[in-house]
Amino acid sequence: MTLTVTDVKRIADLAYIEIDHGEAEAVLTQLTGIFNLIETMQSIDTSSVDPMSHAQSVTQRLRDDEVTETNQRESCQAIAPQVEAGLYLVPKVIE
């Protein structure tokens, strides 16, 4: 798979990262390198290997369904830039 500058700009867009054209070119070279590495790895036959979904071979611990958290709104909101009526205020997200 060949990556283009357009792909890089789209990925940047999805990740909300602002990059200029020069940076995009540089990132393209780096990403292409990573893609080549992946291609090399994919040429290895792994059909007899179980897919690894986590770096450790342990399984998920579960907790009992109990309410253990108390209301910490005051301390949480103490570090928020802006709050009102118990709400966190953010720049308007709807047109």
Partner 1 sequence: MQWEIVIGLEVHAQLSTQSKIFSGASTGYGALPNTQACVIDLALPGVLPVLNRGAVERAIKFGLSVGATINSPSIFARKNYFYPDLPKGYQISQYELPIVQGGIVLIQIEGGEKIIRLTRAHLEEDAGKSLHEDFHGMSGIDLNRAGTPLLEIVSEPDMRSSAEAVAYAKTLHSLVRWIGICDGNMQEGSFRCDANVSVRPCGQEKLGTRCEIKNLNSFRFLEKAIDYEARRQIDILEDGGVIRQETRLYDANKDETRTMRSKEDANDYRYFPDPDLLPLEISPLWIDQIRSSLPELPQIRKERYVSELSLPAYDATVLTNSREVGDYFESTVKLLPAQTKLCANWVMGEVMGQLNKEGIEISSCPIMPAQLAALLTRISDGTISGKAAKTVFESMWQGELGKDVDALIQAKGLKQISDDVALEGLIDQILSAHPQQVSDYRKGKEKAFNSLVGQIMKATQGKANPTQVHSILKNKLEQ
Residues binding partner 1 (CB under 8 A):
10, 14, 16, 53-56, 58-69, 71-73, 76-77, 82, 84-94
- Nearest CB to partner 1, comparing residues 22 and 81: 81
Distance of alpha carbon 73 from alpha carbon 86, whole angstroms: 8
Cβ 48 to partner 1 shortest distance, Å: 18
Cα 79 to Cα 57, 70, 72, 75, 91, distances in angstroms:
38, 18, 12, 7, 17
Cβ 13 to partner 1 shortest distance, Å: 10
Q: Which of 2, 24, 3, 29 has the alpha carbon at shortest distance from 12?
A: 24
Cβ 37 to partner 1 shortest distance, Å: 17
